[in-house]
Amino acid sequence: MSGVAFLLIAVVVSLVGSVIVWIRNRKPTHFMSSVDDFQREMDALSTPPVPSTPPRPVRPVQDADKRRLGGR
């Protein structure tokens, strides 16, 4: 195999790889792509939702607790 054939194969492999990388990384061009981009940015900037956990029930203070805490 001559040097020119090797160089031609290397160029073809390089071009195929470049086209694959370009196709995978290009920006989407469909109708809703700009709206999707804007929504993704708004979601990134928003605060995460607060989980709704029920409050813990408060137990009444017993006489033994009052004595231990120094109350009368």
Question: Mean pLDDT in the chain?
Answer: 82
- Is the pTM value of this prediction over 0.75? no
Helices (H) and strands (E) in the chain, counts: 3, 0
Of 62 and 37, the structure prediction assigns the larger pLDDT to: 37
User: Where do the domains of the chain lie?
Assistant: 1-28
Q: What is the pLDDT of residues 31-49, one digit of tens each?
A: 788 888 889 999 989 887 7
| Residue 66 contacts residue 72 (beta carbons within 8 Å) | yes
Instruction: Calculate mean pLDDT across residues 43-61.
Output: 78
C-alpha–C-alpha distance, residues 36 and 39, integer Å:
5
